[in-house]
Amino acid sequence: MRPLVIAHRGASGYLPESTLPAKALAAGMGADYVEHDVVMTRDDRLLINHDLWLDNVSDVAERFPGRERADGHFYVIDFDLDEILSLSVTERFTVVDGRAVAVFPDRFPVWQSHFAFHTLEDEIEFLQGLRHSSGRDVGMFTELKSPWFHEQEGKDLSAAVYDVLARYGYRTPESRCRVMSFDAHALQRIRAEVGPAAGVDVPLTQLICRTEGHETYERMPDGTWENYDYDWMLQPGGMERIREWADGIGPDVRMLLRHGEPMAAGELAGWAHDAGLYVTPWTVRADDLPHCAPSLQALVRLLADECAVEGIITDFPDLVIEALA
């Protein structure tokens, strides 16, 4: 069976990430699942957005000057949903000399056409409506974005997301939904408490990144917060520990490759499979390949044939489907 094709923030290689048009294009291209990130607003609504902040994909700085925090970011959690829905969304950018510069210059142009934010409920209703009208049952890879941050802010992101999943019928392992997070403590709590309380038992994916990325912080016994150390996950025996609370792993695709050239499979996928975990790496991008990968097609074939991954998370679902054909 070929790996699942999981459209990362939708078909984000072609349309602004996380928007409903990007999800529609992914479905039309034949993606099996769409991946999205969920963040909570000030008024406890669940927004689809990759970052904890709004400023790299919207006009929030122009619309709401002075609402940024000390680090310069405009955080989702500092805005009500109605305020966020009034913003214009665009292709991801950075600001250079006061000008918006696209992170991926060959993708959709910055500030062209009109796109908007939407909620988790909006996206579920969109996908379920598409299933009704077309027969295409596109599933969801739902990432809980930094539950630890929401905990610091007094919000329970995991419980809120699980309430929505239950309401829309995503309750069993066979449901077209998998929940992911980099936050191991959040996944452990979901397995033990949040899922059973909501009556939701969908597969859980432990996302893995480099410790130096400062993706996750954990509360220490003295109440302070420290950068979470992922290094143990990448050592022999790490996968067996993860299996205590997760059904699969989502590593950076580079973690599945040996260091250096030529491109070759490493040991991590085998360790995961031996522990009974599925493997769904992120993110395969035609315009940002690992240095050792000669082409997207070659990378996809190695992931499918040598690593035997169960899914591939990609910004370019059409190209991955073509490579797997």
Domains and their CATH numbers in the chain: 4-55+117-324 (3.20.20.190)
Q: Are 253 and 6 in contact (CB under 8 A)?
A: no
pLDDT-based confidence at residue 261 (cuts at 50, 70, 90)? confident
What integer pLDDT is reported at residue 1 of this predicted model? 87
Listed in sequence order, the residues at least 6 apart from 196 whose beta carbon sits closer than 8 Å to its beta carbon are none
What integer pLDDT is reported at residue 137 of this predicted model? 97
Which of these, 301, 294, 293, lies nearest to 323 by C-alpha position?
Answer: 301
> What's the N-to-C CA distance of the chain in angstroms?
11
Q: HEC profile for 213-280?
A: HCCCEEECCCCCEEECCCHHHHCCCHHHHHCCCCCEEEEEHHHHECCCCCCCECCHHHHHHHCCCEEC
In whole angstroms, what is the distance from residue 322 CA to residue 320 CA? Answer: 5
Asked if residue 259 has pLDDT above 90, the reply is no
Q: Are 30 and 165 in contact (CB under 8 A)?
A: no
Q: Over the stretch 55-64, which tens digit does the pLDDT of each residue have?
A: 999 999 999 9
- Residues in a beta bridge with 100: 95
Sign of the CA dihedral with 235 first, then 236, 237, and 238 last? positive
Distances in Å between the alpha carbon of 4 and those of 136, 194, 236, 251, 268? 14, 27, 27, 15, 19
Residue for token digits 């930094």? 146
Using DSSP, state whether 150 is helix, strand or coil: helix
For range 258-282, the mean pLDDT = 94
- Provide the whole-model pTM: 0.97
Asked if residue 260 has pLDDT above 90, the reply is no
Q: What is the CA radius of gyration of the chain?
A: 19
For range 296-323, the mean pLDDT = 98
Q: Over the stretch 3-48, which tens digit does the pLDDT of each residue have?
A: 999 999 999 999 999 999 999 999 999 999 999 999 999 999 999 9
The phi, psi pair for 234, rounded to 5°, reads: -95, 10
Cis omega (within 30 of 0) for bond into 94: no
Q: Are 84 and 76 in contact (CB under 8 A)?
A: yes
By annotation, the residues acting in catalysis are 8, 50
Beta strands at 4-8 and 311-314: parallel, antiparallel or unpaired: parallel
Residue for token digits 């796109």? 115
